[in-house]
Amino acid sequence: MKPALRDLARAVASPSLIAQCAVDALIAEARLTPKPALVDERGSGAHRDLDLDTMLRSARALHPTFLAIARAASHAEPSQILREQLARIGREGESAMMRATDGSNAHRGAIWIIGLLCAGAAMHAPDDSGAICFSAAKIARFDDRYAPLTATKSHGARVSERYRVAGARGEARDGFPHARLVGLPALDAARASGLAESDARLDALVAIIASLDDTCLLHRGGMPALEAAHRGARDVIACGGAASVAGRRALEALHEELMKLNASPGGAADLLAATLFLDSLRRLP
């Protein structure tokens, strides 16, 4: 049996369930506390134009976008036409996000990352994270012939070119390695060791920060911010993770260092949300 037919023979989550899992993942990421220099229950981190309420309004406003993406990708295959259809839906979602946040960019990167994964999830069994990521990657590798010129001049695009890093587009085209190969394994390892769920999720975030060339950090603080984030996250891991006394001190030190640099690991936050989305799918009954 061909892979696509084999997947269809297994249970595929409904578009409405996929969309709800996507929104729940964004909400879970926003609420997770304490995160270094990111919006959480403590405050706005390094983001002057965002707070937790804004992040939650943005996440909820994106439900129709994720639902439309999942519906469009249901029983479909990655293609140029699908890529451009999803891009149009994503741009409409970005407008909805901006209306919900009074013009603040809460989840532009997440619309791209989580949106593609919603499409992959509509094509495969929910527990097959690899297949979901690889189909999303196939979609991402098609160019959007109708993309506005502003898309090539975004902060992320300029930073990716300047520092020669993959950025969100490269991460997607490579099959989301920081969610699939870093975030999920770190989450599983932390749970297996008996950690509380919030500590397991913090460990997953720290693992992503430790290795990701985060364009949000590079945009706001250049290489000094990225190097500080890598160094600080690795210190947290070396100290035993976020659940340990020493690890929590190292996490707070990372927070203070990034706050001084006015830099935030927003790309890592998006990939944590992607990790939580994939995890929620594989844990469905």
Domains of the chain, residue spans: 10-147+167-278
Burial-class residue 61 by CB neighbours within 10 Å (0-12, 13-18, 19+): buried
Q: What is the pLDDT of residue 40?
A: 97
Predicted TM-score of the model (pTM): 0.93
Burial class for 177, CB neighbours closer than 10 Å (0-12, 13-18, 19+):
middle
Distance in angstroms (rounded) separating the CA atoms of residues 251 and 245? 10
Element spanning 85, H or E: helix 80-100
With a CB cutoff of 8 Å and minimum separation 6, the contacts of 50 are 39, 44, 101, 104, 106
Give φ, ψ of 25 to 5 degrees: -65, -40
pLDDT, position 9:
43
Per-residue pLDDT 10s for the chain (285 aa) are 344 444 444 589 999 999 999 999 999 999 999 999 999 999 999 998 999 999 999 999 999 999 999 999 998 999 999 999 999 999 999 999 999 999 999 999 999 999 999 999 999 999 999 999 999 999 999 998 877 766 656 666 777 778 778 888 999 999 999 999 999 999 999 999 999 999 999 999 999 999 999 999 999 999 999 999 999 999 999 999 999 999 999 999 999 999 999 999 999 999 999 999 999 999 998
DSSP 185-250: HHHHHHHHTT--HHHHHHHHHHHHHHH---HHHHHHHHHHHHHHHHHHHHHHHHTT-TTSHHHHHH
The tally of CA atoms less than 13 A away on the side-chain side of residue 123 is 26
Rounded CA-CA distance 4/21 in Å is 23
**Other CB atoms closer than 10 Å to residue 31's CB: what's the count?**
17
